[in-house]
Amino acid sequence: MLNFTFHNPTRIHFGEEQIQAIRDEIPKDARVLVTYGGGSIKQNGVYQQVSDALAEHSWFEFSGIEPNPRYETLMAALEVIERHQIDYLLAVGGGSVIDGSKFIAAAALFEGDDPWDIIIKRKPVAQALPLGAVLTLPATGSESNTGGVITRAGNKLSFASPLVRPLFAVLDPKVTLTLSDRQISNGVVDAFVHTMEQYLTVPVNGKVQDRFSEGLLLTLIEEGPKALAAETRDDLEVRSNIMWAASLALNGLIGAGVPQDWATHMIGHEMTGAYGVDHARSLSIVLPAVMKERREQKREKLLQYAERVWDIRQGSESERIDQAIANTEDFFRRMAVPVRLSEVDLGSSDIDTLVENLEKHRMLALGENRDIDLSVSRQILQTAL
């Protein structure tokens, strides 16, 4: 196992009716900005619950944070913050709203020319407004991690700081019942791939991390399709298990002390940045190709994955790996997400653009061994055709 420091101080309030917990989480004298997206929270009652819980607070709102949040949108929040002397943010939504609010939290107190430098120049976040989150879409883990992904002019790039980690997060599985099938699928698949990025690497004898990861993968494989099936669609037990699995998949726990890959995400981000492919749908296309292209480098973990997650025990090593990859694709298909570039209307002529953008974004040495250079990324994309 590798050395690590693990510290996740986000207080989680999990379960039905927990939105009211924000009443006591946010200091009474705070001036709060509630940030949200395109309005789903107004249709499903979440806005009302938040507004009831904040009845004794001074609060304002900023809406319109779009999926794959854009820098320009987020910068518009700074004027609202200044005008109302906001000193606390409450993000209400999915990963995009929470990521966007993390950037707003850092940008509001940034002491430089342009907060974009936090991302493009990796300027460290020296201070940030305190942030809480009400999660409405289980997927990213953003509600209790330090990262955010922001888009500017087709450049989809990430940043991270412990100062933007939400102080608390409310996870009420009931609010996920209004998600569309597409967003349910996206969430389950994103969480699955987060787990794989931290699991399917090289063995370092991290027994606990491996078994936690396998537990999350098994849970997502078991529960994901149930959230799409008519008879179990509204089952809160199913939604609870998905919501908690997605959060644990990227709250730092399973990645502590083990190598991490993230090549699938970095390549996928270019598909979203250049062509607007949903985040999870970029991952479901790239991951199987990464598994195929890196089967030698990942051989031991692929075999462990085959046995422990898919119960594949028969056949040669190569056959077992093939079967594990086929099962992964089959699971993605059951979750109704694409597994080939052609399914999102991308072809070989688009690979040049994607590879150029990887180069522009300095994604030159990806993967747990930093050995996925541009030529390997190109090969992965070709395999995904």
Binding residues for ligand NZQ (CB under 6 A):
37-41, 44, 67-68, 93-97, 99, 136-137, 139-142, 145, 147-149, 175-176, 178-179, 183, 186-187, 190, 250, 265, 279
- Round the CA-based radius of gyration of the chain to a whole number and report it: 20
The residue among 21 and 135 lying less far from Zn ion, judged by its C-beta, is 135
Tokens, residue 161: 């700081």
Q: How far apart are CA 94 and CA 134, in angstroms?
A: 8
Q: Is 197 among the residues that bind Zn ion (CB under 5 A)? A: no
The residue among 30 and 354 lying less far from ligand NZQ, judged by its C-beta, is 354
Q: Closest CB to ligand NZQ belongs to which residue?
A: 37
Look at the block and give the residue holding tokens 């320009």.
Answer: 72
The residue among 115 and 141 lying less far from ligand NZQ, judged by its C-beta, is 141
CA distances from 48 to 52, 55, 92, 100 (A): 6, 10, 12, 22
At 151 the three-state DSSP class reads strand
Binding letters toward Zn ion, positions 303-342, x by CB under 5 A:
----------------------------------------
The residue among 190 and 210 lying less far from ligand NZQ, judged by its C-beta, is 190
At 320 the three-state DSSP class reads helix
The residue among 279 and 320 lying less far from ligand NZQ, judged by its C-beta, is 279
Q: How far is the CB of 321 from ligand NZQ (least distance, A)?
A: 25
Binding letters toward Zn ion, positions 162-191, x by CB under 5 A:
----------------------------x-
Q: How far is the CB of 155 from ligand NZQ (least distance, A)?
A: 13
Tell me which of ligand NZQ, Zn ion, none is bound by residue 355, counting a contact when its beta carbon lies within the kind-specific cut-off of 5 to 8 angstroms: none
User: If residue 41 lies in a helix (H) or strand (E), which one and from where to where?
Assistant: helix 40-43
163 Cβ contact partners less than 8 Å away, ≥ 6 residues apart: 105, 106, 125, 126, 127, 128
Which of these, 296, 261, 273, 271, lies nearest to 381 by C-alpha position? 271
C-beta atoms surrounding 115 within 10 Å: 23
Q: How far is the CB of 243 from ligand NZQ (least distance, A)?
A: 11
What are the backbone dihedrals phi and psi of residue 103, each rounded to the nearest 5 degrees, phi first? -65, -40
Q: How far is the CB of 8 from ligand NZQ (least distance, A)?
A: 13
Look at the block and give the residue holding tokens 């970029």.
Answer: 282
Q: How far is the CB of 48 from ligand NZQ (least distance, A)?
A: 14
Q: How far apart are CA 130 and CA 147, in angstroms?
A: 15
The residue among 41 and 149 lying less far from Zn ion, judged by its C-beta, is 149
C-beta atoms surrounding 133 within 10 Å: 27
The residue among 190 and 368 lying less far from Zn ion, judged by its C-beta, is 190
Q: Is 278 among the residues that bind Zn ion (CB under 5 A)? A: no
Q: Which residues bind Zn ion (CB under 5 A)?
A: 190
